[in-house]
């Protein structure tokens, strides 16, 4: 049984059904997420892009001032459209480093190897396709330089608040004293702004969620009827948890290989969480898991934070 099939069967067999959001990212999913990021309502990418464009020199300067020689490992690199500004600035400062983009999507890594050398000919590039922490271990084995880990896009929000500390602790265990982590956090704000970002008028987020059901059909022999599921996001302003569901609109049975799953009308499949933070929560997350906060970089609206931490 493949890991994909095993995870799907486990999730749909649970009392409260769920699917693992890491499986959103096949070739179609990658394209849909690019469209989501371009939506007027989807602010996180625009806010963080502003930081990387308008504060590039400050970002590069603080890295250079803290570590003399280093490599950059980007967890969940995507198209590197934000990090490319920092990479270029470092190259302009004649800093020698290797860039290790890590992504669960092999399609993404292939595209980076194809496109980045055209834009940054001097860049030393070593893409890694797989799980974040496993690939970080590979990057460490490939080079003993100090590591600067980029974990952008608010990706840390893709786990519930209580599990974020566990991830940070595991990340710290992979790193050495003096290593740096630059991680993005979507901050708490007007609930209407947050909810609109995950329920865009163009329907791209809906398609992004439904595409995982299509992927199960295509790759695992499932028989989901996509029209029988509705996209439903909600945001709890008190906890900062923004969650996406696919809700069954009828009583139905779904077959995936040897397994059969019953859905009641109105029954949800939990698809994804996007946790929103306060600045104080991000500092606590660092201090409780072996890091010390070094610098905060905010966009002009104060909606997004890129926090630089150092391993202690």
37-43, long-range: CB < 8 A, 24+ apart? 39/197, 39/200, 39/202, 39/204, 39/205, 40/200, 41/196, 41/197, 41/199, 41/200, 41/201, 42/197, 42/200, 43/193, 43/197, 43/303, 43/304
Q: What is the mean pLDDT of residues 157-184?
A: 95
Give pLDDT tens digits for 302-312: 999 999 999 99
Q: What is the DSSP letter of 222?
A: B
Question: What per-residue confidence (pLDDT) applies to 222?
Answer: 97
Question: What per-residue confidence (pLDDT) applies to 105?
Answer: 85
Give pLDDT tens digits for 201-225: 999 999 999 999 999 999 999 999 9
* Domain edges within the chain: 3-42+194-275, 43-190+277-311
% pLDDT > 90, the chain: 92
pTM strictly above 0.85: yes
Q: What is the mean pLDDT of residues 177-204?
A: 97
Give pLDDT tens digits for 235-276: 999 999 999 999 999 999 999 999 999 999 999 999 999 999
The pLDDT-based confidence of 162 (bands split at 50, 70, 90) is confident
Q: What is the mean pLDDT of residues 170-197?
A: 97
The pLDDT-based confidence of 154 (bands split at 50, 70, 90) is confident
In angstroms, how far is the first alpha carbon of the chain from the final one?
A: 41
Lowest-confidence segment of 3-7, 16-20, 109-113, 154-158 by average pLDDT: 154-158
Tokens of 81: 């459209």
The pLDDT-based confidence of 90 (bands split at 50, 70, 90) is very high
Give CATH for domain 43-190+277-311.
3.40.50.150
The pLDDT-based confidence of 153 (bands split at 50, 70, 90) is confident
Mean pLDDT, the chain, rounded, equals: 96
Question: What per-residue confidence (pLDDT) applies to 138?
Answer: 96
Tokens of 204: 């791209």
Question: What per-residue confidence (pLDDT) applies to 155?
Answer: 87
Question: What per-residue confidence (pLDDT) applies to 78?
Answer: 87
Give pLDDT tens digits for 93-107: 999 999 999 998 888
The full DSSP string for 277-299 is B-HHHHHHHHHTTTEEEEEEEE-
pLDDT at 1 over 80: no
Give pLDDT tens digits for 26-54: 889 989 998 999 999 999 999 999 999 99
Give pLDDT tens digits for 63-85: 999 998 999 999 999 899 999 99
């Amino acid at each position: 049984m493949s890991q994909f099939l095993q995870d799907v069967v486990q999730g749909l067999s649970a009392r409260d059904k769920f699917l693992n959001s890491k499986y959103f990212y096949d070739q179609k999913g990658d394209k849909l997420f690019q469209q989501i990021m371009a939506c007027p309502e989807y602010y996180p990418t625009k806010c963080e892009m502003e930081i990387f464009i308008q504060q590039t020199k400050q970002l590069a300067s603080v890295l250079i001032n803290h570590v003399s020689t280093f490599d950059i490992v980007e967890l969940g690199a995507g198209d590197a459209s934000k990090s490319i500004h920092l990479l270029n600035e470092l190259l302009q400062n004649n800093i020698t480093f290797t860039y290790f983009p890590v992504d669960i999507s092999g399609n993404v890594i292939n595209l980076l190897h194809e496109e980045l050398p055209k834009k940054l000919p001097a860049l030393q590039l070593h893409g890694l396709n797989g799980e974040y922490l496993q690939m970080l271990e590979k990057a460490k084995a490939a080079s003993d330089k100090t590591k600067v880990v980029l974990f952008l896009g608010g990706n840390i929000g893709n786990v519930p608040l209580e599990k974020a500390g566990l991830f940070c602790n595991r990340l710290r265990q992979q790193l050495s004293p003096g290593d740096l982590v630059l991680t993005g956090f979507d901050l708490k704000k007007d609930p209407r702004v947050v909810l609109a970002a995950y329920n865009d008028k163009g329907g791209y987020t809906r398609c992004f969620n439904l595409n995982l059901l299509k992927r199960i059909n295509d790759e695992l022999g499932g028989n989901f009827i996509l029209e029988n599921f509705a996209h439903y996001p909600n945001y709890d302003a008190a906890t900062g948890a923004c969650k996406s569901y696919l809700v069954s609109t009828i009583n139905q049975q779904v077959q995936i290989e040897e397994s059969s799953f019953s859905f009641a009308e109105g029954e949800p499949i939990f698809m994804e969480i996007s946790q929103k933070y306060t600045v104080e929560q991000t500092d606590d997350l660092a201090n409780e898991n072996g890091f010390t906060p070094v610098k905060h970089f905010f966009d002009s609206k104060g909606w997004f934070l890129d926090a630089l931490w150092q391993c202690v």
